[in-house]
Structure 1
């Protein structure tokens, strides 16, 4: 009876951790990180144009590379989280790095010794020698930045991208850990709602940064405008640590990377073996596991879990003697989970490239009438409408459409539109957004020419910047459908111990998309100005042809949609595996830890 009471108390203590009470701390941490960092992303195009005197195409390439690095690092952070440190430690690491960046700003010596990003960027605005001399762009010859000045700028951008690798891949998965309860019949509905509103909170953060941080930068100057994100990042780290005693901290799968390598090597070593029938007893699985046979997808990896000879392949405890020749069904399915989503994941690359064209639309807005209700808005603030439409879509879908779909159709409560259809619809909208951008830019350019502004790149045409809203609205809808859908898809297809990798994979797609975007901008700029012609992406928008560039993006997006339809059809069902035996793996790990502890005590 004593043991049972102790067990009950222990269980009670565990159940007090996690839950909805932890979400404000986690979401606030991510939100303030977004406001701080993306407040810099949004207006950086103007900073590079007017302070560093880059032309629009070069500035866009620098930004695309920065965005790419910011999205690549979370993928490595995800692997650290799920295979080594755990999600709490990686978020803490990312937040502390950011916090140290802020604290180091107190002393120039500390800044120079620790090379910390946000303060480096602030210093480029604070120290006149850190950037080229000020001049009137398009009115007089402007000095180009020196190599040292460019290096100083790039170091700050690179270090901020490094810090993003800690927070971004883990916050969403860490939040899901707090509320995920498979025994709750409403668990799937709760998780879907969480994914939607989490992305909305991120969108609202970006919207706030696009309006208020940008406004501060425009009105108060770059020194104050870059100092505000430093304070916000400090606040972000403090909020996260305040809730640390309440968090559920899922242990990392220490064998994750090794397991992936073992599956590949074992499958290659056994490549000459014929695949046994599905009901064969030669498939190797852990005792107590529900994963007794592999799925039919990516069947070439199934050879990694074939037992050739039980006496030679297994030891007295039923474990593989040579783990590089024989793996469990679960290990094989973990590897296959990643391999299977790669074709659908690849559609995220072009999609990311399409929806991250804020830089050029900001340059367009700078040549248009930006007055809204007698208030002149900063050129970059019009991109905030992307996230307004995202917020409205998620609110309408989650609170109005989902209940109606469940009520009047046979769709199970909380399921709504299928993940594949949501992603596909978002990709369709990503084709329409640049197509509308073609029409708007053509109208703006024609107006500039008719008003005699073809040789005046700073001239403001008699056309409201509100014309940019339709393309931004469609981009927001596309993001709300495809981005949330893809994250949800990866999360549903991976085991819980790989949740951060699911989110990291999404960011990896965005990073690759930004890298591709920088390459396309480079190619388009170089090829279209051959023979002394004016580049499509000229610094003088009125002489260039940004409408042709948007048309190219629309065509690429259409090809991407067709590729998605093919990949989605080939993927098949999303419900091949309904349980990943999380408890079985955890129990085995605990047993191994006990055996190790006992051996150490015996040796003593």
Structure 2
């Protein structure tokens, strides 16, 4: 009878598959190990997703820096190097698209058929090689002198122009002439004997600010592409046969590469036709002498035509039946 109180009566066993002893097993003694496992698992998942977010953050930071740093290696005052800079941008986007193609096809196949370890390991090794390759050319690089934070310069113009909202400036047809007020000298611009950059800005700084605002308008139109791209990727994945989803997803991503090649082809055609009479053309090296707005009107017309073709194809398309 004494042994009956020692063992569990519900048939549970210990790690040796013997009846569990009540005072040696179970209860709160086991909870730290169980909860510790849960905590470690959640920590592992957190580290995993943190790594993915850091990759995305690093990718977003390195792409614009690489393109700008590469373009800085060419001298605009030298006609030969100026032409080479245009070629650099073509090769830059070509490299990105090749990387996207390989990642969307070869690496997807490796992840699906071999394992995620290889799928993440190969890019990690490739990135390590890229870092070593980049630093190996340090002695050859042309470095621009730091000019301070561009965001600070932008906000200085905004603060200075708002602070001088009542200051009169010469009439200007430009929509952004309000920011010219930041360059008007007043008696309150000095702080302790020196010019306060938050109250008085240079003409160059103001023109930089205006350029950023103009670019933001173009950037806003590019944001619409994000919604199109996401919907397209989801569409290709959902409508693809089960055994071909990776292939169809890669096919969706290749549209970006083909679009870049087509845009390069279009730019070359426009530049050729618009310069036949000896004019600067629509897209010259110095955009101040060109007619870039004509080119954007052409893109708008092509977009409308593309939308019409899309509606025609959408009416013709038969959707894949959802599984019951």
Q: TM-score, normalised to structure 2's length?
A: 0.69
Aligned partner of 1:348 among 197, 205, 222: 222
Q: Partner residue of 2:24?
A: none
Residue in 1 that maps onto 2:50 = 155
State the aligned residue count: 276
User: Is the contact between residue 406 and residue 414 of structure 1 (CA under 8 Å) also seen in structure 2?
Assistant: yes
Is 1:365 the counterpart of 2:240? The answer is yes
User: Does structure 1 residue 389 correspond to structure 2 residue 258?
Assistant: yes
Quote the residue 1:537 is aligned against. none
Please give the secondary structure, in 2, of the residue aligned with 1:378: helix
Alignment of 1:146-295 (within 5 A): 151-179=46-74, 181-185=75-79, 190-254=84-148, 256-276=150-170
Higher RCO, 1 vs 2 (CA within 8 Å, ≥6 residues apart): 1
Question: Are the structure 2 counterparts of residues 198 and 394 from structure 1 closer, same or farther at C-alpha, using a change threshold of 3 Å?
Answer: farther
Contact 1:214 1:225 in 2 (8 A): yes
Give per-residue Cα distances to partners, 1:320-359, cap 9 Å, x unaligned: 6333322211122222221233222211111222124324
1:246, distance to aligned residue in structure 2 (A): 0.6
Q: Distance in 1 between matches of 2:117 and 2:272?
A: 50
C-alpha distance in 2, partners of 1:402/1:166?
Answer: 32
Contact 1:266/1:303, CA 8 A, preserved across alignment: yes
After superposition, the Cα gap between the structure-2 partners of 1:148 and 1:424, relative to the gap in structure 1 and judged at 3 Å, is farther
What's 1:543 paired with? none
Give the counterpart of 1:333 among 202, 207, 214.
Answer: 207
1:436, CA displacement in angstroms?
Answer: 6.6
Following the alignment from structure 2 to structure 1, what is the Cα–Cα distance between the partners of residues 240 and 254? 13
Indicate the SS of the match to 1:443. coil
Distance 1:388 1:323, change over 3 A: closer
Flag structure 1 segments of 5+ consecutive residues without an equivalent. 1-128, 131-145, 279-294, 371-375, 449-453, 457-604
**CA deviation after TM superposition for structure 1 residue 268, in Å:** 1.8
Provide the rounded CA distance (Å) in 2 between the counterparts of 1:235 and 1:411. Answer: 46
Secondary structure (helix, strand or coil) at the match of 1:178 reads coil
Shift in Å at residue 391 of structure 1?
A: 5.7
Q: Which runs of 5+ in 2 are unaligned?
A: 1-36, 285-290
Residue 437 and residue 197 in structure 1: after superposition, are their counterparts in 2 closer, same or farther (change >3 A)?
farther
SS at match of 2:318: helix
Deviations 1:181-211 (CA, angstroms, capped at 9, x unpaired) = 2323466654444333322221122112222
Residue deviations 1:113-137 (CA, integer Å, cap 9, x gap): xxxxxxxxxxxxxxxx99xxxxxxx
Q: Which has the larger radius of gyration?
A: 2
Please state how far the C-alpha of 1:247 moved relative to its aligned partner: 0.7
C-alpha RMSD over aligned residues: 3.8
Q: State the alpha-carbon separation in 2 of the partners of residues 207 and 334 from structure 1.
A: 36
Point out the more displaced range, 416-425 or 378-387.
416-425
In structure 1, distance between residues paired with 2:214 and 2:103? 36
CA distance in 2, matches of 1:428, 1:201: 30
CA distance in 2, matches of 1:433, 1:241: 48
Is 1:412 paired with 2:280? yes
- CA gap of 1:430–1:304, structure 2 versus 1, over 3 A, is farther
Distance in 2, matches of 1:444 and 1:201, equals: 35
CA contact (8 A) 2:104 2:249 kept: yes
- State the match for 2:25 in structure 1: none
Distance 2:146 2:205 in 1: 15
* Matches of 1:166 and 1:377, distance apart in 2: 28
| Cα distance change, pair 344–379 in 1 and its aligned pair in 2 (3 A) | closer
Please report the TM-score for the alignment, with normalisation by the length of structure 1: 0.40
1:427 positional shift: 4.6
Asked if 2 retains the 8 angstrom alpha-carbon contact of 1:313 and 1:321, the reply is yes
Note if contact 2:271-2:283 (Cα within 8 Å) is conserved in structure 1: no
